[in-house]
């Protein structure tokens, strides 16, 4: 007799539980509200006719979660990530896989991205070159080691060389004389150890539509710099430096032995540079300048040199080197102002882009030398407007230490480094299901797959059914607090009404009992 009212009370109570849970999680990031769904109950009739039978109450048929999009709010944590659209973050806890919409992550002690419960975010890691390695998702443990340097191997100079320029009055070309060239450009390049060097190119107009190109390394024309750099590999000079280092480290210190070793080094360096200068076609005056620089070092009667290190001696000798410059190539232009590679190929000798420029390294940094820079002049023109550098680029960079993260809409985690470069460190994986309603709630803002949900589809953000990601943001609970408060009032009234039916039936039963 009281079945309908009791089932109504139970249903209203369950509805209030669901509403209370929704309200309690109104501020829970990534929470998805639920809705109690009900079904009526009928007893089967023995004679097969049930149209005249009253129902026997109500039952809760399902607690359906509502996987609608929550609002996205910004945060100050760059590792907070919000999903805008479909899909879930794929997490691993003690080897078990679960799924979540809560994107509040941080680093643990091993630089693995985890949430507040310690669940590890999974994705795809990159190799040392920053290329994402797709495959089975793994926990995102990010490599925050220094970015290794990359040697410059290519460079491009984009200029407009004015057709109105005149042939320089001073000839031949001299890097130290601005009147001997029309234009100079400067570009930082990097050796194999990441040390920065200055690559300078000079442009000398020799005729209409014809420009010779010269180069310098660290403000010294490359042929003269090669003469200076001869000390880096000359066997006699290398041995003299080793002997000097041995004398300096001797215990007890022997000042006379150090001075003698320095003098021996100075003589060996002078000889190496003079030999290289002669091979480069140095004039008698240019050779005499090297000898004068050696004399200014002031070697004593025994050839000893006091108070100067090999590096200081190298610098004094190198400053005196000026040998005839050699152009690295010639640029020819058409009458419409574009580069003319066909005409360049017919020159004697043929000129082919890119120019292979050999940059000496002096002083010696220990890097591989010389640096070979394949130099192009893409989009370089010769118009009547002013001569201008329109942008120079190269592909090398120095070593860099990790500074900060950023995450793009595709889930790629970019590490930003002190050298201004960035490198992909990994990419967040996402999962989606044929039936998200079939997922099993686990608590802690997580779900597990079930037979009803179907197996997960794994992918990357912004692909297929996966939504895009937004860094420094979170997806708030999709609970509509106003609607839930109204639903709570309704559920309260339903509970009171069902209680009233029990009270009324009790009153009727009491009347029957009181019949005489």
Cβ-contact 132, 426 below 8 angstroms: yes
Whether residues 238 and 304 fall in one domain: yes
Do 210 and 352 have their domain in common?
yes
Residues 291 and 227 in one domain: yes
- Please list the pLDDT of the chain residue by residue as tens digits (516 residues): 577 778 778 887 888 888 888 899 888 898 888 888 888 777 665 555 555 667 778 888 788 888 999 999 999 999 999 999 999 999 999 999 999 999 999 999 999 999 999 999 999 999 877 899 999 999 999 998 888 899 999 999 999 999 999 999 999 999 999 999 999 999 999 999 999 999 999 999 999 999 999 999 999 999 999 999 999 999 999 999 999 999 999 999 999 999 999 999 999 999 999 999 999 999 999 999 999 999 999 888 788 999 999 999 999 999 999 999 999 999 999 999 999 999 999 999 999 999 999 999 999 999 999 999 999 999 999 999 999 999 999 999 999 999 998 999 999 999 999 998 999 999 999 999 999 999 999 999 899 999 999 999 999 999 989 999 999 999 999 888 888 889 888 888 888 888 888 878 778 778 877 875
Instruction: Kindly give the pairing relationship between strand 388-394 and strand 154-160.
Output: antiparallel
The residue range of the domain holding 139 is: 72-146+402-475
Q: What are the tokens at 229?
A: 């750099």
pLDDT digits (tens, 9 = 90+) for 380-413: 999 999 999 999 999 999 999 999 989 999 999 9
Looking at 376, 398, 420, the residue that finishes a domain is 398
What count of other Cβ atoms lies within 10 Å of the Cβ of residue 6? Answer: 15
- The residue out of 377, 398, 419 marking a domain boundary is 398
Query: CA-CA distance, 512 to 179, in Å (whole number)?
Result: 124
- In whole angstroms, what separates CA 273 from the centre of its chain? 44
Dist. CA 54–CA 502, nearest whole Å: 16
103 and 54 in one domain?
A: no
Residues 206 and 114 in one domain: no
Q: Taking a C-beta distance cutoff of 8 angstroms, is the pair 173, 211 a contact?
A: no
| Same-domain pairing of 153 and 206 | yes
Q: Are residues 133 and 117 in the same domain?
A: yes
Q: What tokens does 62 get?
A: 């399902």
386/426 same-domain check: no
Q: Residue 73 corresponds to which tokens in the numbers above?
A: 């709010």
Residues 43, 166, single domain; the answer is: no
Residue 218 confidence (pLDDT): 95
Shared domain for 126 and 223, answered yes or no, is no
Tell me how many degrees the CA angle 403-474-111 measures, rounded to the nearest 5: 35
- Picking from 398, 432, 451, the residue at the C-terminal end of a domain is 398
**C-alpha angle with apex 443: 441 to 449, nearest 5 degrees?**
30
Residues 52 and 10 in one domain: yes
| 288-320 pLDDT per residue, tens | 999 999 999 988 878 899 999 999 999 999 999
Q: How many CB atoms lie within 10 A of CB 69?
A: 15
Q: Where are the alpha helices (DSSP H) in 297-340?
A: 310-318
Q: What is the pTM of this model?
A: 0.75
If asked whether residues 90 and 129 sit together in one domain, one would say yes
Q: Which two tokens stand for residue 393?
A: 């680029």
What total number of domains does the chain contain?
3
Cβ neighbours of residue 3 closer than 8 Å, sequence gap 6 or more: 56, 57
- Per-residue confidence (pLDDT) for residue 499, from 0 to 100: 80
């Amino acid at each position: 007799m009281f079945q309908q009212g009791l089932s109504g009370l139970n249903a209203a109570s369950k509805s209030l539980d669901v509403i209370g849970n929704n309200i309690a999680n109104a501020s829970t990031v990534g929470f998805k509200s639920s809705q109690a769904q009900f079904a009526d109950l009928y007893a089967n009739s023995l004679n097969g006719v049930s149209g005249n039978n009253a129902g026997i109450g109500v039952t809760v048929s399902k607690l359906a979660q509502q996987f609608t999009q929550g609002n996205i709010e910004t945060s100050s944590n760059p590792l907070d990530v919000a999903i805008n659209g479909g899909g879930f973050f794929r997490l691993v806890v003690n080897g078990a896989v679960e799924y979540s919409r809560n994107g509040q992550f941080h680093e643990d002690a091993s630089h693995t991205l985890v949430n507040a419960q310690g669940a590890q975010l999974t994705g795809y890691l990159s190799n040392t070159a920053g290329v994402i390695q797709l495959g089975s998702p793994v926990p995102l443990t990010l490599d925050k080691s220094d970015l290794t340097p990359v040697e410059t191997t290519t460079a491009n100079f984009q200029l407009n060389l004015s057709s109105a320029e005149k042939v320089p009055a001073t000839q031949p070309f001299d890097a130290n004389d601005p009147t001997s060239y029309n234009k100079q450009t400067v570009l930082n390049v990097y050796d194999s150890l990441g040390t920065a060097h200055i690559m300078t190119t000079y442009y000398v107009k020799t005729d209409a539509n014809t420009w010779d190109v010269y180069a310098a390394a660290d403000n010294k024309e490359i042929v003269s710099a090669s003469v200076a750099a001869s000390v880096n590999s000359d066997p006699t000079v290398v041995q003299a430096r080793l002997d000097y280092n041995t004398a300096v480290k001797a215990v007890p210190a022997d000042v006379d032995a150090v001075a003698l070793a320095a003098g021996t080094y100075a003589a060996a360096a002078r000889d190496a540079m003079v030999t290289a200068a002669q091979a480069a076609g140095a004039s008698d005056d240019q050779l005499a300048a090297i000898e004068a620089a050696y004399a200014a070092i002031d070697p004593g009667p025994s050839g000893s040199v006091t108070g100067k290190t090999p590096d200081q001696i190298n610098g004094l000798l190198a400053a005196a080197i000026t040998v005839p410059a050699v152009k690295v190539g010639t640029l020819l232009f058409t009458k419409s102002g574009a580069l003319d590679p066909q005409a360049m190929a017919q020159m004697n000798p043929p000129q082919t882009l890119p120019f292979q420029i050999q940059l000496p390294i002096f002083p010696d940094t220990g890097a591989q030398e010389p640096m070979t820079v394949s130099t192009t002049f893409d989009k370089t023109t010769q118009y009547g407007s002013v001569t201008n550098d329109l942008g120079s680029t190269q592909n090398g960079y120095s070593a860099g230490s990790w500074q900060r993260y950023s995450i793009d809409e595709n889930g790629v985690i970019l590490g930003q480094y002190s050298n201004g470069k960035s490198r992909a460190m990994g990419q967040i994986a996402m999962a989606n299901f044929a039936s998200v309603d079939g997922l099993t709630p686990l608590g802690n803002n997580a779900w597990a797959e079930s037979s009803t949900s179907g197996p997960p589809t794994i992918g990357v953000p912004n692909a297929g059914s996966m939504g895009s990601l937004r860094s420094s943001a979170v997806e708030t609970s999709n609970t509509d607090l106003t609607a839930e408060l109204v639903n709570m009032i309704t559920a309260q009234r339903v509970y009171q009404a069902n209680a009233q039916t029990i009270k009324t039936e009790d009153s009727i039963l009491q009347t029957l009992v009181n019949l005489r």
